[in-house]
Amino acid sequence: MTIPFDARINLTPEDIPKRWYNLAADLPGLKPPLNPGTGEVAKPEDFEPIFCKEIIRQEGSTERYIDIPEEVRDNLIYLNRPAPLQRAYRLEKYLKTPAKIYFKREDMSPLGSHKGNTAIAQAYYNAEAGIHTLTTETGAGQWGTALAMVSNLYDIKTTVFMVKGSYLAKPLRKTIINTYGATIYASPSEHTEFGKKILKEHPETTGSLGIAISEACEMAANDKNICYSLGSVLNHVMLHQTVIGIETMQQMEIGEIEPDYVVACTGGGSNFAGLTFPMLGEKIRGKGFKDTQFVAVEPRAAPSLTKGEFKYDYGDTAGFTPLLMMYTLGSEFIPSSIHAGGLRYHGMSPLVSAAYDTGLITARSYDQTQTFEAGITMARTEGIIPAPESCHALKGAIDLALECKEKNEEKTIVFCLSGHGLLDLYGYEQYLDGTLPSSEI
């Protein structure tokens, strides 16, 4: 048997993109962030207590391309970039679909997810600016893991506030973060004023991402040598993730792949943005992807695009962050505790939100029982156990492939496998036991 040429399309390290693509250059009518105190348009200085200058510059930039520093490109190699674009022949065969299914393998990073792509860039710029410590929050643990590891590359320390519920449920994440040399606290913690306040009012709380963000921001704001680092939502994070889509476009050219559907899961929006923004840019500029549909897949437990409202809202619970124009379920909203912790966020990236509002992209949502079923199908056909978050994108892709089967259409689907699920096996165990709860709100 000969191996089909598109079974796995690889690039070489020289093909790692040299510049990031910025959708803000091509998307008109974006609404700027507002200062939470005054309600006025936020000025770059407003961000200085928590972010370094280059990050602030990128956050507000409308340049179409921003060069990737050599030091960042060099380190992307060790996250196993460029990531292969693989064809799911065995999944297609199992589904008996005429559709072609390709997936981008962000699961091959040693950190287990796509989050390292921005972690490397953020740690680099902060180290350049002389910052000695980065603070951050983590829900499921992937972002804390990524930042903890990459801070070693640039000799910077990391302090992670992990949502207490996850901290208790996933003790091995703490071990990983400690192994990488970072400090981790269960949030709410005694290490910030906001944490102490919450603990006093709600001693039994299991915390939330919004509370953990407030704690990490407070610690950064109180020391000029400490900055805060966010793993999703903001424009600079979307920018850094575009290496995913730029590589995928090179691979699609090699494989002569013209996608009808491009699919990714959305928590704060970064892996979706990473895969789709470079293609959306071409679509807006009339250079391609004319008939391609871009599909965001979210959990029923936190359906910000499909059920939220497009308005200014805070990124955190305390109201420390600037107000962002985004699809949101409200900054007080605490999603029920699903296994896809990376998708449990009340808001959505302002850039992804604006793309949705203008009709450039579509969205759908699934219950976690449906997504784990998809994950098990992937495991038994392709041999890969996807992260619970990635199972949402996979479920979207499988449903589209089944629609193609019904209509007997040979369409092409590309989805992002944003991470592997080897550290999230409890959800799979519950699914197999028949004890996995539904995640409807």
Ligand X SMILES: *Cc1c(COP(=O)(O)O)cnc(C)c1O
List interacting residues with ligand X (CB under 6 A). 113, 115, 142-143, 232, 265-272, 342-343, 387, 389-390, 418-419
Residue placing its CB nearer to ligand X in the complex, 36 or 375: 375
Name the one residue in this structure whose structure tokens are 């450039």: 360
Show the tokens assigned to 401: 């492939």
Least distance in angstroms from the C-beta of 149 to ligand X: 14
Least distance in angstroms from the C-beta of 316 to ligand X: 16
Least distance in angstroms from the C-beta of 233 to ligand X: 7
Show the tokens assigned to 184: 């981790």
- Which residues make beta-bridge pairs with 294? 262
Residue placing its CB nearer to ligand X in the complex, 85 or 404: 85
Residue placing its CB nearer to ligand X in the complex, 36 or 347: 347
Those residues with Cβ within 8 angstroms of residue 160's Cβ, 6 or more apart along the chain or in another chain? 135, 136, 137, 138, 144, 147, 148, 177, 182, 183, 184, 185
Q: What is the DSSP letter of 12?
A: -
Cis peptide before 188 (omega within 30 of 0): yes
Residue placing its CB nearer to ligand X in the complex, 268 or 350: 268
Closest CA to 261 of 234, 237, 288, 293: 293
Show the tokens assigned to 60: 């507000």
- Closest residue to ligand X: CB criterion: 419
Least distance in angstroms from the C-beta of 8 to ligand X: 20
Cα–Cα distance measured from residue 24 to residue 396, given in angstroms and rounded to the nearest whole number: 27
Least distance in angstroms from the C-beta of 115 to ligand X: 5
Q: Up-side HSE of residue 122: CA atoms within 13 Å toward CB?
A: 37
Least distance in angstroms from the C-beta of 343 to ligand X: 6
Residue placing its CB nearer to ligand X in the complex, 220 or 343: 343
Least distance in angstroms from the C-beta of 142 to ligand X: 3
Cis peptide before 278 (omega within 30 of 0): no
Residue placing its CB nearer to ligand X in the complex, 194 or 372: 372
Least distance in angstroms from the C-beta of 434 to ligand X: 25
Q: Would you state the torsion angle of the CA atoms of residues 227, 228, 233, 239, taken in this order, to the nearest 10 degrees?
A: 30
The SS3 assignment for 339 reads coil
Show the tokens assigned to 51: 């972010």
| Rg, the chain, Cα only | 20
Cα–Cα distance measured from residue 88 to residue 92, given in angstroms and rounded to the nearest whole number: 6
Residue placing its CB nearer to ligand X in the complex, 134 or 416: 416
Closest CA to 240 of 143, 334, 173: 143
Residue placing its CB nearer to ligand X in the complex, 248 or 390: 390
